[in-house]
Amino acid sequence: MILEKFFLKQAVQKTDVILEEFKEEWKRIGCTIMSNGWTDKKRRSICNFLVNSPKGTVFLYSLDTSDISKIADKVFKMLDDVVEFVGEENVVQVVTDNAANFKAGGELLMKKWEHLYWTPCAAHCIDLIFEDFEKHLKVHQITIKKGRRITTYIYGRAMLISMLKKFSQGRDLIRPGMARFATSYLTLACLH
């Protein structure tokens, strides 16, 4: 137990040294705060905060946003707290999804800190475009439904899975993606 505590303490010290190198770069050239919202198994809304710079990306912390994420003023306060945590003089940009509450919170943030920009996440925007395609274009609805039926059929039969692995050099048809609706299109690309 004592040895484990020693190694843990060493790892924390090493991480702190690396983090200081990142913070120095943030001071020198600026950084971007990125947020990523998701829902855990208990249906709680969670938001991860990361800081990105040319040196790399650093995870800051996660926050239970179940009582925050729907109200623009609370979203603004949450984002403002992250900016202050990182150092407002270091932050150039804040990237979130482009839901109305985050957009309103981002605009309030830009009013308070005139030197920084709120930007909607490009991946989220693309995901929303795919969602619109699937909802509003009949050919997309039909094609995605057929693709799901094909993959369900194949993955429900051990012999077909074996053949799939053999003839596709071990690749899968279903490719989970970061974005919900993009996953359907990634699967269709694999089927193609």
| Burial tier of 167 (Cβ tally within 10 Å: 0-12, 13-18, 19+) | exposed
Q: What is the DSSP string of the chain?
A: -HHHHHHHHHHHHHHHHHHHHHHHHHHHH-EEEEEEEEE-TT--EEEEEEEEETTEEEEEEEEE-TTTTT-HHHHHHHHHHHHHHH-TTTEEEEEE---HHHHHHHHHHHHHSTT-EEEE-HHHHHHHHHHHHHHH-HHHHHHHHHHHHHHHHHHT-HHHHHHHHHHTTT--S----SSTTHHHHHHHHHH-
What is residue 14's predicted lDDT score, i.e. its pLDDT?
Answer: 92
In a 10 Å sphere around its CB, with 0-12 CB exposed, 13-18 middle and 19+ buried, how is residue 20 labelled?
exposed
Q: What is the pLDDT of residue 119?
A: 93
Sequence-distant (≥ 6) Cβ neighbours of residue 47 within 8 angstroms: 35, 36, 37, 38, 62, 63, 65, 69, 78
Say how far apart CA 121 and CA 71 lie, in whole Å: 19
Measured CA to CA, the distance from residue 131 to residue 180 in angstroms comes to 9
Please give the model's pTM, rounded to 2 decimal places.
0.71
Q: Domains of the chain by range and CATH? A: 2-120 (3.30.420.40), 126-191 (no CATH)
Please list, in sequence order, all residues whose beta carbon lies within 8 angstroms of the beta carbon of residue 17, skipping any fewer than 6 positions away.
none
Report the DSSP pairing between strands 31-39 and 56-64: unpaired
| pLDDT given for residue 49 in this prediction | 94
> Per-residue pLDDT for the chain (192 aa), expressed as one digit of tens each?
788 888 899 998 999 899 899 999 999 999 999 998 888 888 888 889 999 999 999 999 998 888 876 788 899 999 999 999 999 999 999 999 888 888 999 999 999 999 999 999 888 788 888 888 888 999 989 998 998 898 889 888 888 888 888 888 877 777 655 556 677 777 788 787
What is the pLDDT, as a whole number, of residue 180?
Answer: 63
Q: How many CA atoms lie within 13 A of 132 on its CB side?
A: 6
d(CA 192, CA 185): 10
